[in-house]
A and B are shown apart, each in its own frame.
Chain A
Amino acid sequence: MRYLPNSPAERAAMLEATGHRSIEELFEQIPERLRLRGQLDLPGPLSEPEILEFFRQAAGESSREYFTLLGAGAYSHYRPVTIDALLSRGEFFTAYTPYQAELAQGTLQAMFEFQTLITQLTGMEVSNASLYDGSTATTEAVLMALRITGREKVVVARALHPEYRQVLATYVRHQGIEVREVAYAPSGQVDLSGLEAALPPETAAVVIQSPNFFGALEPVRQIAELAHQRGALLIVSITEPLSLGIVQPPREADIVCGEAQSFGVPVAFGGPYVGFLACRDKFLRQMPGRLVGQTTDSEGRRGFVLTLATREQHIRREKATSNICTNQSLCALAATIYLCLLGKKGLKALAEQNLAKAHYAAAQLRTVRGVAAPFSAPFFNEFVVKVPGEADELLAALREEKIIGGLDLGRFYPELQNHLLVCATETVSRAAIDRMRAVYQRFQVSGSSKSPAAEIQSASVGHN
């Protein structure tokens, strides 16, 4: 087997040195009745060309030929080729966690740079070296707030990503924590009066997303005031942090967390991604996850180490701040490289391009009779439209044009049937947006897959 570096002669020599007569003897410590008889029923072995063929076939059965207007927590952005060129260096991707700092200064310095970039983007004072993804980062932020305040109630915006809310529920189910949801207003943002009414005195945290699941930017300052009045912390989760290129970070928040996948990490059917979590200095000791700190060696040279490890599972065990053992180092490295390539001006320019594409798409769609834009809040690169007729029929028609037109919100919000969440990043061409509009236009004229005559007939017999 080509991955194995020993020849039969070498194996025999090593076996002899162990004093055993056969490999089977080495497995004698496993009781005989527990040992596998025969072989596993698995495919292979395949040669390299056969492996490539297998996966190429799978890759063919995908949406790679389509323009995708899906966001909803995972964003399609162009990945500069420099990223993979650097990630492919064996010293980066085949290295372990940097516990032996002298042999891992490359990873450690890169993570220190990641932490710095995240603080610059979010306006917070300290960041960790990444967490699994946005959904668990948001959950970890809540657990942090519970520890810091010693309280047991959490208020969460309904406009926070539905799957993020599900993950939070899973994690707090057995900890006696009460989670309340607060609705969204007609603007698409958190309903502020609803929030005020919903905030019990013993609230540990208020959790919002901005831009939220509908793409709307949240009024962070007002929400922070309400939360802080009650002694609660404000947690802001950001699933599309590219927005921070032209949108003010939530400086009034206590913890800013979210998903950094937009920064050079492939969409890859949902993972691996990279969560981030940043907060004010005073909460440092309650932060989960790995932290890289700057220090000096015995000669006074600057170096980097994992630090404040005593918060973590391998030391605290059952008293740990979290059970997390890993960060997403290689994905965080991809994000670091991506942000360095874009730089101050590139990040702003790319954010402006996203803003332009989404606002062009929204404007174009709104010119079609029967299309409504239900939410009035400002948005970055995602927005909601109410479509004329049935969303699934419209989406099917768009697919025939090789366009995946958005997410049917009825899937997560029963009150939003026939509403689509549409995301237009720099990867969606004007031509595709115009084709999309043309489909909407065709569709709207007939109103459904039925002909206009049939529609009138069904309307007259009282069908809805």
Chain B
Amino acid sequence: MYPQEFLYTKDHEWIRVDENIGTIGITDHAQKELGDIVFVELPKAGDHVTAKESFGTVESVKAVSEIYSPVDGDVIAVNPKIQASPELLNADPHGDAWLIRVRLADRGDVEGLMTAEEYEAYISQEKAH
């Protein structure tokens, strides 16, 4: 269900790391909780993101969520499709609806993030509350 090659945060972001480039998005669980997504606020290429700090927001009709960066890095790309079609996040959160790509400041940053199994266990535990 959750891609094995991604790592996950407690705030429901995912990151796929290739060499020192990280692609970041939000998980299927997050998009389900939010409902129909209507607007996404993202940084620009060249901006810096900081681990555990918000770099943007995702809005549904009834709720707003901050998106937290899993890593420190510089934004090298922002998904051009998202602004025009925020509904993509509901349709394909793990694929077409990636949000930003960053150059990692330190590849070691990803220690402490969850694997797919750990993440699935984490969200089924959350649901039980």
Contact = CB atoms under 8 A, between A and B. Distances in A.
Interface of A: 285, 309-310, 315-316, 319
Contacts of A316: 64
Give chain B's interface secondary structure class. Answer: strand
Given A310-B38, A315-B62, A315-B63, 7 more contacts: A309-B61, A310-B39, A310-B59, A310-B61, A315-B64, A316-B64, A319-B64
B6 to A, nearest CB: 28
16 contacts: A285-B39, A309-B61, A309-B62, A310-B38, A310-B39, A310-B59, A310-B60, A310-B61, A310-B62, A310-B63, A310-B64, A315-B62, A315-B63, A315-B64, A316-B64, A319-B64
Interface residues of B, number: 8
A315 B63 CA distance: 6
B42 to A, nearest CB: 14
A316 B59 CA distance: 10
B101 to A, nearest CB: 25
A359 to B, nearest CB: 50
A310 B63 CA distance: 6
Contacts of A285: 39
A101 to B, nearest CB: 12
A285 B64 CA distance: 13
Interface string B30-69: 0000000011000000000000000000011111100000
Q: Which 6 pairs, one residue from A and one from B, show the smallest C-beta to C-beta distance?
A: A310-B59, A310-B64, A315-B64, A316-B64, A315-B63, A315-B62
Contacts of B64: 310, 315-316, 319
A347 to B, nearest CB: 36
A319 B65 CA distance: 12
Nearest to B59: A310
A433 B127 CA distance: 75
The listed residue with most B CB atoms (<10 A of its CB), out of A309, A310, A319, is A310
B66 to A, nearest CB: 9
B63 to A, nearest CB: 6
A310 B61 CA distance: 7
A129 B61 CA distance: 18
Contacts of A319: 64
A48 B60 CA distance: 50
Nearest to B63: A315
A319 B59 CA distance: 13
A376 B112 CA distance: 73
Nearest to A285: B39
B44 to A, nearest CB: 14
Contacts of B61: 309-310
Contacts of B59: 310
Contacts of B60: 310
A319 B39 CA distance: 16
A310 B40 CA distance: 12
Contacts of B38: 310
Nearest to A316: B64
A285 B63 CA distance: 15
A285 B40 CA distance: 12
Nearest to B58: A310
A309 B63 CA distance: 9
A316 B65 CA distance: 9
A126 to B, nearest CB: 16
A285 B39 CA distance: 10
B49 to A, nearest CB: 19
Contacts of A315: 62-64
